[in-house]
A = this chain, B = another copy of it.
Amino acid sequence: MTDRLHMTKMTWMDYARCTDRPIILPVGSTEQHGPHLPLGVDSIIAENFAALLAQRIDAVVAPTLSYGYKSKPFSGGGPLFPGTIDLNGSTLQALAADILLEFARDGFTRIFLMNAHFENDPFLIEAMDSVNERLGGKATMLLSNWWDPLPEEMLPVLFDETPFPGWALEHAAITETSLMLYFAPELVRTPAISRCENVCPPAYALYPIPADAVPSSGVLASAWSSSAEKGQKIVEAVLPALEKMAREVFNL
């Protein structure tokens, strides 16, 4: 039986019949996420949101971009950590642009970029901008980070024990850890989660990046009090918002 969801499992003939459906490109990264989470967190979260959203709006899910733009000290720990694989901005831009253009050439007119790596955002948008110029409006391209549509009233629910550090610092912290406990608990080392102070980022960007810019654990904000239940709450709050967004923008 045909897989309706994953492009990678479809034959080209299956796929050719999908072009009036939306297509979702999950974009993650390979990046340190502290002592308790694996390097693939962003890709795993992007894929899971993509698949869940796809089921709601009958979309196709394309293969994930597993490598992302350079991690920054105060949104991911930066290049100081092994396992953080940093693409140049121009590389991510070219990669996303080539793929978006091919989706459009195949006939898709509704393309959703499901991003889960904070730093990817401006370079994905530059890709969308350049592709849009070439397509002249032929396709609608929408980018959402998974946290963008999280209703603000969820924050006190999630951050019941520690203060919300802002989305940049929410790296390997409560939301990502809770999502991983929900999506892939076997990949979380719960004992390695410890209470810690949120990092207090400076009001500037600095090069060379000081070796002690961030804690040696790679954790920017506390993951303490994370739980699969919180992960589920995030998903249940975000998914309808992603669906609503897609339905409005794509006229579904």
Chain A interfacial residues counted at CB < 8 A: 83
Q: Give A33 to B141 CA distance when docked, in angstroms.
A: 27
Q: Are B11 and A37 in contact (CB under 8 A)?
A: yes
Q: Are B9 and A32 in contact (CB under 8 A)?
A: no
Q: Give A12 to B241 CA distance when docked, in angstroms.
A: 33
Q: Give A237 to B122 CA distance when docked, in angstroms.
A: 30
**Chain B hits for A232, CB < 8 A:** none
**Residues in A1-36 with C-beta less than 8 Å from chain B:** 3, 6-13, 15-16, 19, 30, 32-36
Given contacts A39-B12, A83-B7, contact A94 B98 (CB under 8 A): no
Q: Is A191 an interface residue (CB 8 A)?
A: no
**Chain B hits for A99, CB < 8 A:** 67, 85, 87
Closest-CB distance, A239 to chain B (whole angstroms): 13
Query: Interface digits, A89-112 against B, CB 8 Å rule (1 contact, 0 not)?
Result: 111011100110011001100000
Closest-CB distance, A4 to chain B (whole angstroms): 13
Closest-CB distance, A86 to chain B (whole angstroms): 6
Given contacts A66-B64, A94-B90, A144-B203, contact A16 B245 (CB under 8 A): no
Cβ-defined partner of A89 (8 Å) among B33, B37, B122: B122
Q: Give A34 to B11 CA distance when docked, in angstroms.
A: 7
Q: Are B15 and A143 in contact (CB under 8 A)?
A: no
Cβ-defined partner of A95 (8 Å) among B3, B6, B95, B202: B95
Q: Is A117 an interface residue (CB 8 A)?
A: no
Closest-CB distance, A183 to chain B (whole angstroms): 13
Which of A51-59, A126-134, A220-228 lies at the interface with chain B? A126-134
Chain A: residues with CB nearer than 8 A to chain B? 3, 6-13, 15-16, 19, 30, 32-40, 43-44, 62-64, 66-67, 70, 72, 81-91, 93-95, 98-99, 102-103, 106-107, 119, 121-123, 125-126, 128-129, 131-132, 137, 140-144, 148-149, 187, 189, 192, 202-208, 218, 241, 245, 249
